[in-house]
Structure 1
């Protein structure tokens, strides 16, 4: 099956069944609705252990009244890689291997191919662009060493940047309003004896505009400006889900919809934080996994301290 043929089956929108082998019996079901490729084979031997693999699952099912194992491969944007993985499993079974052994052998060959097209979601892509825009600004204002020390977002800390004078949470949106997703009750909670600023960045898709940038372009712009911090920068990107093999997936270009705005997160700022929950909610220790949207469009922006001042006071809709 060629990539074009496989894509045509998915484009049809209706599940189809293909016979891949008669001895042993193996069927391939292409399910555009679930966006999956499914391998059916009679229930013999041990069940493959796929617990550690995000895009692979195995279940008990039946085909033509026959008890079967069903291996599900999440297709996504790696359809042909997924099909090639299944074909390799079937070839190994035709040579006498059990399903479990065939799957493990194919995984060693295809694991990277199955994973490498796992691009960032658009929301995470845009969020990373926002952080890199500020990181790039810090490279020019405070230098590489302090910029690398300040950027804590990839380390899953509560705030994206911790500067000498303040902490910074960067939020990026494509919305016409400054509406941002807050992912926890601690994200807008100032650290003790620290000042917290929310930097709101509005992007819009730019097409072929000269003053635009893509995620790939930002990474390519920053790397040559780094010296000893290059290795740490690359590791930070990997933690956030970036892979150099995927640069062609990030072709969308953006430009600033408006100038970045800074908001002081103080007692008057409308944030849902753990201390505020503890005051209002009975037995608040049972409340967790809080996320919410906040619209700061109508709030007055403030002038942040250096080295953020020029970043949040830019007068052009350029990146």
Structure 2
């Protein structure tokens, strides 16, 4: 069996070049890279039934395809952080088929047993969740630097509370976006409703991806918060755990981000776009309002609020937010 090196396969991935690369051997196995590198996969010619349970693995897709008249098992993934793991997984299957004469279903099952933990991305956070966590950690870092490590308790995001942070009489929703405009998803009627006796603010973080050495990855931000907290990190560790963040997954979180524009503070008042039951109530009866479930909607806050670096911003936010190694 002729091994295609990872570096050679990565050349196709990095350039977005679609390719089919025969593995060699006696079973006509091949690796492929899809157009624009949206996925990579392994094709195994096979005419029998495929009785292998792959549905447990969110990022591993398995189907039967016809390619140039040949019926094949096609295994693939669209998760770029897992491309290298998939490459190793594919060659484990190929070795079992070519060198140890396993049937394709038996080889797939055995390789799944070996590589299941690498391919099971139920434990990995999707990018939207990672971005949200990164934004909250930017705010938490600024808060701890300004007020001290005890203020880690002001972070309410990991527990079932309406808003991300509560500090004195102010509450904060941290919203992070990679879109070209400051467009943020709002989850539910209550997310932009102010608690009694409090003032509510949106902290809008407008990010873009950054190449090394610029910006910061999520694991780097986590490490920075650990560093400034000092020896007592129990509460922070517990909060990360509740959000599904695990140190063992950090190798997959390689994306670097930087600010596209300065953080912006927006007071939730009459000039802030939002939907709430109170706003809808003049137009709808109580009976109709009760029939609405939770909803998700998007708001555009371009041009609203005050930006980091102004007095009005500094009067409310405990310190400057940063994305970069200090």
Q: TM-score, normalised by structure 1?
A: 0.73
Take 1:105 and 1:316, find their aligned partners in 2: how far apart are those partners? 46
Task: Could you tell me which runs of 5 or more consecutive residues in structure 1 were left unpaired when the two chains were aligned.
Answer: none
Instruction: Name the structure 2 match of 1:225.
Output: 228
Q: 1:220 to 1:256 in 2, by over 3 A?
A: farther
The alignment partner of 1:29 has SS state of: strand
Q: Aligned pair 1:101/2:101, yes or no?
A: no
Take 1:281 and 1:99, find their aligned partners in 2: how far apart are those partners? 60
Instruction: Name the structure 2 match of 1:61.
Output: 65
Take 1:114 and 1:7, find their aligned partners in 2: how far apart are those partners? 19
The alignment partner of 1:71 has SS state of: strand
How far is the alpha carbon of 1:98 from its aligned partner?
A: 4.0
The alignment partner of 1:154 has SS state of: coil
Instruction: Name the structure 2 match of 1:182.
Output: 185
Take 2:64 and 2:203, find their aligned partners in 1: how far apart are those partners? 50
Instruction: Name the structure 1 match of 2:170.
Output: 166
How far is the alpha carbon of 1:249 from its aligned partner?
A: 1.9
After the TM superposition, which residues 193-204 of structure 1 pair with which residues of structure 2 at under 5 Å, given as runs?
Answer: 194-201=198-205
Take 1:101 and 1:316, find their aligned partners in 2: how far apart are those partners? 51
Q: Aligned pair 1:311/2:311, yes or no?
A: no
Instruction: Name the structure 1 match of 2:89.
Output: 85
Contact 2:45–2:70 (CA under 8 A) maintained in structure 1: no
Contact 1:21–1:90 (CA under 8 A) maintained in structure 2: no
1:44-80 per-position Cα deviation (integer Å, ceiling 9, x unaligned):
3542211121211111223453443322233514433
After the TM superposition, which residues 153-302 of structure 1 pair with which residues of structure 2 at under 5 Å, given as runs?
Answer: 153-155=157-159, 157-172=161-176, 179-185=182-188, 186-191=190-195, 194-201=198-205, 215-226=218-229, 229-237=232-240, 239=243, 241=245, 243=247, 245-246=250-251, 249-252=254-257, 254=258, 257-258=261-262, 260-277=263-280, 280=283, 285=291, 289-295=295-301, 297-299=303-305
Take 1:60 and 1:247, find their aligned partners in 2: how far apart are those partners? 29
Take 1:41 and 1:57, find their aligned partners in 2: how far apart are those partners? 16
How far is the alpha carbon of 1:181 from its aligned partner?
A: 0.5
Take 1:295 and 1:257, find their aligned partners in 2: how far apart are those partners? 13
Take 1:130 and 1:82, find their aligned partners in 2: how far apart are those partners? 30
The alignment partner of 1:153 has SS state of: coil
Q: 1:312 to 1:233 in 2, by over 3 A?
A: closer
Instruction: Name the structure 1 match of 2:152.
Output: 147
1:41 maps to which of 42, 45, 55? 45
Q: Aligned pair 1:133/2:138, yes or no?
A: yes
How far is the alpha carbon of 1:271 from its aligned partner?
A: 1.2
Contact 1:182–1:294 (CA under 8 A) maintained in structure 2: no
Contact 1:262–1:303 (CA under 8 A) maintained in structure 2: no
How far is the alpha carbon of 1:172 from its aligned partner?
A: 3.8
Contact 1:40–1:63 (CA under 8 A) maintained in structure 2: no
Take 2:80 and 2:311, find their aligned partners in 1: how far apart are those partners? 44
Task: Could you tell me which runs of 5 or more consecutive residues in structure 2 were left unpaired when the two chains were aligned.
Answer: none
RMSD value over aligned CA atoms? 4.3
Instruction: Name the structure 2 match of 1:13.
Output: 17
Number of equivalent positions: 310
How far is the alpha carbon of 1:163 from its aligned partner?
A: 3.5
Instruction: Name the structure 1 match of 2:55.
Output: 51
